[in-house]
Amino acid sequence: SGPKPGIWKVHPDGTGAQFLTSPAGIPEVSPDGAHVSFSTNASSMGVYVTTIRTEDGKPDDFRVDLPQGGFAISRFVIGRCRWMPDGRSIVMLTRDQKGFRIDDYPFTPGVHSLAKTALVPAFDPGVELETFGVSPDGKKITVAGVVKSRSLMVAERVPGVARPGR
């Protein structure tokens, strides 16, 4: 946020701020610290995930296009990504006609990746995956899902609120 939004590299003490790129979605630094992955809007129909080098912000020319399957995005971040612990692939929140899912894409700079492995298939159309985490050994994934519910509540005898006349 602020006057120049984007991805910045900053020392832990707040000094040495270096602007890397903009616009960008939520960044994720690779395990070796050499790359940053993030999603960005390609159009109203989809987003893509790409990477840059942390040294200078130059693109790695890695890209994965993520069509949205005809759904509205709302507050969920399609393209939210995490690096696998070995740094050889990037796991991404995607969506298809069956719902939200998590797919694993091999990371190779200079490659527009089409290959993927489904790690968490769309398992319940009533649950929208919001974010996720990968365990340090890469063997487990935890997901945060949102279930929409609608309800009506009645509050009685609230101080200072009078019942309307009939």
Task: Tell me how crowded residue 38 is: count the other CB atoms within 10 A of its CB.
Answer: 22
Q: Name 106's Cβ contacts closer than 8 Å, sequence gap at least 6.
A: 88, 89, 113, 115
CA angle 52, 120, 114 (to 5 degrees): 45
Cβ atoms of 144 and 132 within 8 Å: the answer is yes
**For position 22, what pLDDT does the model report?**
85
pTM of the predicted protein model: 0.78
Per residue of the chain (166 residues), what is the pLDDT tens digit? 567 888 999 999 999 999 999 877 889 999 999 999 998 876 656 788 999 999 999 999 999 988 764 444 455 667 889 999 999 999 998 877 777 888 999 999 988 877 888 888 877 777 777 789 999 999 999 988 887 778 888 888 889 888 777 7
Are the CB atoms for 83 and 37 separated by under 8 Å? yes
Q: Which residue has the tokens 């040294």?
A: 55
pLDDT value of position 42: 63
| pLDDT value for 47 | 83
pLDDT of res. 131: 84
What is d(CA 78, CA 116) in angstroms, rounded to the nearest whole number?
Answer: 16
Beta-bridge partner residues of 9 = 18
The pLDDT value given to residue 45: 61
